[in-house]
Copies of this chain bind each other. A is one copy, B any other.
Amino acid sequence: VNAAPLLDETHDAALRSWVSAAASDAADFPIQNLPLGRFANCADPQPRLGVAIGDGVLDLRAAVNAGLLQALPAATQAACAGAWLNDLMARPAHEVVALRRSLSALLALGSRERQRTEACVLRRSDVRLLMPVDVRNYTDFYTSIHHARNTGRQLRPQNPLLPNFHHLPVGYHGRASTVCVSGTPLYRPHGQALREGSELPTFGPTQALDYECELGVYVGRGNALGQPVSLGHAPDAVFGVCLLNDWSARDIQRFEAQPLGPFLGKSFLTSVSPWVVTLEALAPFRIPAAAREPQAAPLSSYLHTPADRNFGGLDIRFQVTLSSRAMRDAGRAPCLIGSPQFRDQYWTIFQMLTHHCSNGCALLPGDLLGSGTVSGPSDEELGCLLELLQGGQRTITLPGGETRGYLQDGDELRITASCVAEGRASIGFGACVGCVMPAL
């Protein structure tokens, strides 16, 4: 359990698929990626699981029914034919690895099963992508030291970082019922907030709507009540990751959050990208965890292993773009407003998981852990408007001359990401998109 992540033939950069990759986002989904999702189409409105490959989606239920996965255990096949990813997430890690190898073999150039597999591949443009996981529990962390300092500085200029930050990955429970797939419209939420110049709150549509660019981590097998997962075993308990936008209404959040933390300022919507990139696909992009700051106390032993220090980081590069209605009407391209990197995150996703269940808390297959806003040290690497606007001291100028404080109705926010490493096929994540609609 303390070894480097394993690479196998599915990670070979020379591997190619016979599925076309002409579409604009096909580069996200080479055969080295094989992310899992859930979809329906006009011909069959029943939701089912799929694998993104080039321009296409492999229908996993059809593949099972065609006998293409019959070398796999019956339980793996049954999970692949299910209606949600949760059953597959509950399978042991070695079954998930075996599935990846089978899928890679079916989809590779030269596959002997190409013809029968081709009958199970749909064009991605012909399907509707659905929420992939029945998320039972959602937890949001706060693991970027840059984000913590930037936001803490606005409240406590002399002492931005709280004493617990270096000791544990701070987290809080989020709202699972409003975790929705990319594309779900975001209606500007109402709430109580202190408006400028008033000592009493008023109830109305938020005037400080923000996004937060995060990585989402899906739990795999999880753990039983009272039985923690050690850091050494944490990689076996992580199924995969997605892009996540933790939409936030800063004015509502500010008024409500003492003493018990964020609530309605967050729970109106959390968006996730439709594809779950497995931990196996990320193996070539595992890097050392971010260096701990020199003044930090040594890690508590349950949060430290050499393997986590050496391979706990992930080299994922995010891009956040904004396009206003005026920009779209004028045919302008979206404007890049942030390029944070996950390598700067102070805590690893494995530390998050191990800390979460260190008190015996049960994690269920498909539970979602948000990393918290991903922000880096430079102004180009900030992951939310609260930081970009420096708490209202700055504005952003968009192409065409509009200025932006917080998000306006009609604004479309898009998070994408990619993993790049020398000698490796780059992989992407698809997109996590949301458009701000006027308050209902």
Residues of chain A having any CB pair with chain B under 8 Å: 136-137, 139-140, 142, 152, 162, 164, 167-168, 170-178, 180, 184, 187, 189-192, 200-203, 225-228, 249, 252, 255-265, 267-269, 297, 300-302, 355-356, 358-364, 367, 440
Nearest-neighbour CB distance to chain B for A302, whole angstroms, equals 6
Known A137-B177, A172-B261, A177-B137; judge A201-B300 contact (CB<8 A): yes
Q: Quick check: B256 and A164 within 8 Å, CB to CB?
A: yes
Residues of B within 8 A of A202 (CB): 300
Q: Quick check: A225 and B180 within 8 Å, CB to CB?
A: yes
CA distance A172 to B265 in the complex (A): 11
Residue of B136, B227, B256 touching A176 (CB-CB under 8 A)? B136
Residue of B177, B258, B302 touching A162 (CB-CB under 8 A)? B258
Known A164-B255, A173-B267, A200-B297; judge A361-B260 contact (CB<8 A): no
Q: Quick check: A136 and B359 within 8 Å, CB to CB?
A: no
- Describe A's contact surface by its main secondary structure: loop
Residues of B within 8 A of A362 (CB): 177-178
Residue of B172, B187, B300, B359 touching A260 (CB-CB under 8 A)? B172
CA distance A136 to B366 in the complex (A): 13
User: How many identical chains are in the complex?
Assistant: 2
Q: Quick check: B249 and A359 within 8 Å, CB to CB?
A: yes
Q: Quick check: A203 and B172 within 8 Å, CB to CB?
A: no
Q: Quick check: B267 and A359 within 8 Å, CB to CB?
A: yes
Known A226-B440, A362-B178; judge A262-B260 contact (CB<8 A): yes
CA distance A256 to B172 in the complex (A): 10
Q: Which residue of B lies closest to A184 (CB)?
A: B225
Q: Quick check: A256 and B367 within 8 Å, CB to CB?
A: no
Q: Quick check: B173 and A264 within 8 Å, CB to CB?
A: no
Q: Quick check: A264 and B356 within 8 Å, CB to CB?
A: yes
Q: Quick check: B302 and A203 within 8 Å, CB to CB?
A: yes
Query: Which of A139, A302, A361 is the most central at the interface, judged by chain B CB atoms within 10 Å of its CB?
Result: A361
CA distance A152 to B260 in the complex (A): 12
Residues of B within 8 A of A137 (CB): 175-177
Please name 14 pairs of A and B residues whose Cβ atoms are closer than 8 Å in the assembled complex, sorted by A: A162-B259, A164-B255, A164-B256, A167-B255, A168-B256, A170-B259, A172-B263, A177-B225, A177-B363, A189-B360, A227-B440, A259-B261, A264-B359, A267-B359
Nearest-neighbour CB distance to chain B for A78, whole angstroms, equals 20
Apart from the given pairs A191-B359, A264-B358, 17 other A-B contacts in the complex at a CB distance below 8 Å: A136-B177, A152-B259, A164-B255, A167-B255, A170-B260, A172-B261, A173-B174, A173-B175, A177-B363, A178-B225, A178-B360, A180-B225, A200-B297, A201-B300, A202-B300, A264-B359, A265-B359
Q: Quick check: A268 and B177 within 8 Å, CB to CB?
A: no
Residues of B within 8 A of A363 (CB): 177
Residues of B within 8 A of A301 (CB): 203
Q: Quick check: B172 and A358 within 8 Å, CB to CB?
A: no
CA distance A223 to B41 in the complex (A): 27
Nearest-neighbour CB distance to chain B for A49, whole angstroms, equals 22
Q: Which residue of B lies closest to A167 (CB)?
A: B201
Nearest-neighbour CB distance to chain B for A237, whole angstroms, equals 14
CA distance A184 to B227 in the complex (A): 15
Residues of B within 8 A of A187 (CB): 226, 360
Known A302-B203, A355-B264; judge A176-B178 contact (CB<8 A): no
Complex A-B, nearest 9 residue pairs according to Cβ-Cβ distance, in ascending order:
A261-B261, A173-B173, A172-B260, A189-B359, A264-B359, A267-B361, A268-B359, A260-B261, A177-B362
Residues of B within 8 A of A180 (CB): 225
Q: Which residue of B lies closest to A298 (CB)?
A: B200
Nearest-neighbour CB distance to chain B for A356, whole angstroms, equals 7
Residues of B within 8 A of A261 (CB): 172, 257, 259-262
CA distance A255 to B358 in the complex (A): 15
Query: Which of A178, A227, A255, A302 is the most central at the interface, judged by chain B CB atoms within 10 Å of its CB?
Result: A178
Query: Which of A203, A302, A355, A360 is the most central at the interface, judged by chain B CB atoms within 10 Å of its CB?
Result: A360
Q: Quick check: B177 and A252 within 8 Å, CB to CB?
A: no
Residues of B within 8 A of A170 (CB): 256, 259-260, 263
